[in-house]
Structure 1
Amino acid sequence: MLAVGLGTAPSLLMLDEPFARLDPLAREDVLEELRRHQAAGEDRTILLSTHELGSLERFVDHVVLLHDGSVLLDEDLADAAERHLVATVPREPASRHEPTAPMGLLTGARRAGDVMEGLVDTEDALFLPKDSDLRRATIQDVLTFTLREAAR
């Protein structure tokens, strides 16, 4: 079906869950065909609805995240990942004089043992306790933590 759709070289291609029920090799083949289609013309747009978050970073340049009919996120994919970090924050401060982390800074925070993990804006990371661990967020992190926050 994808070959038939791409055969007409449409300027707008709308796909709903194109990776559903595909094994990893077939998923890579579909992604490669979509990349080729997009690279073949400057005026080509692919509108893709998917729950397959892992494939997005290599293929998508703009993301719109919907939840219950509301737009939670609408921005350039690289910007969304660059402006966030994943923070792992101890639930108890390192010393009695250090305040606990302002949990309002963590989007989609979840407890994992004696730590909290959540998404934090890069600029807000300065306000976390000194013994917090930070790592660069992937787009999958951004989408997952944002959805977790919205589901509360």
Structure 2
Amino acid sequence: MSECQVMEVLTAAMKDAMRNRDKVRLGTIRMALSELKRIEVDEKSIDDTRALAALDKMAKQRRDAISQFESAGRTDLVDQEKRELAVLHDFLPSQLSAEEISQLVSEAIRESGAESMRDMGKVMGIIKPKVQGRADMNQVSQTVKQLLN
């Protein structure tokens, strides 16, 4: 089982968090490493692309939890989820701007020859690997819908 660079970076960050006694950061990194190791065992290996996809999924789960806790008025849990989300963002590639997403979607539409909403799956299939971990897929989906209409 080979280790990917994302796991190496997370392991080094975990050691730093232990030295600095940063409980929130340490807990979040341990949770992320645990998930990546589970994936590695299940799939026999893990590469950086798969690791970033898993971290992106964890970040999305935090964003969803934040909106649910906010609607329930649980500010204590919102704060915890926001701290965890901030830690996860440290290990994800920089996020794309709305302009960059729009440009990538336009290129994917041209590349796929999409003409209507029926072709949305083709466009998403082309764009997803390019933006994985760098953009919220809901935002990408909305941009595709706008440009196909």
TM-score normalised by structure 1 residue count: 0.26
More strand by share: 1
| Structure whose alpha-carbon radius of gyration is higher | 1
TM-score by length of 2: 0.27
